[in-house]
Amino acid sequence: MSLLSQPKSDHLRQLYWRDEILQLLFWIEGEGFGEQVETATLERFLELDKVAAAAHLERLSRDGLLEQDESGAYRLSLRGREEGGRIFATEFSDLTQPAHGACGRECWCRSSSVEAAACQEERRAWRLDP
């Protein structure tokens, strides 16, 4: 992230990096790459220098979004995981929508296994009809 593309005010810059870091940690954990990160992780993925990375991690820890272990590594707290998941879902919502012909969130098939089976049968029949 270039310094030119960051928000200029300190408050907005902190919010920006809060979201970027929580989203990154949520992704890393979700992909099975581990649950703990250090400043080097932020340097590699977000192009933050070591001093800025350490400051952001410490601030997020003070805010209760991260937990630091005895080795100095950080991981998402329960609150941080929830917030990181929300940010991640919002950021990638366009890519995680149902495909054409797939059921959306409001479909009855999400309410029970009986409805799910009926919905699948209906979609199967719809695809087979000329």
Domains of the chain, with CATH numbers? Answer: 3-91 (1.10.10.10), 99-130 (no CATH)
- From CA 46, how far away is CA 115, in angstroms rounded? 44
What is residue 1's predicted lDDT score, i.e. its pLDDT? 46
- Could you tell me the two tokens for 19? 């979201």
Token pair 């797939």 is at which residue? 102
What pLDDT is stored for residue 62 in this prediction? 97
Helix (H, G, I), strand (E, B) or coil at 107: coil
Instruction: Note down pLDDT in tens along the chain; length 130 residues.
Output: 445 577 888 889 999 999 999 999 999 998 899 999 999 999 999 999 999 999 999 999 999 999 999 999 999 999 999 999 999 888 877 666 555 556 776 777 777 778 778 877 877 776 665 5
Name the 3-class secondary structure at 34. Answer: coil
Structure confidence at residue 2 (pLDDT): 46
Query: Would the pTM of this model clear 0.85, i.e. be above it?
Result: no
Side chain identity at residue 33, one-letter code: F
What's the confidence (pLDDT) of residue 122?
78
List of E strands, the chain: 66-68, 74-76
Report how far residue 108's alpha carbon sits from residue 59's, in angstroms, rounded to the nearest whole number: 43
Q: How far apart are CA 55 and CA 86, in angstroms?
A: 23
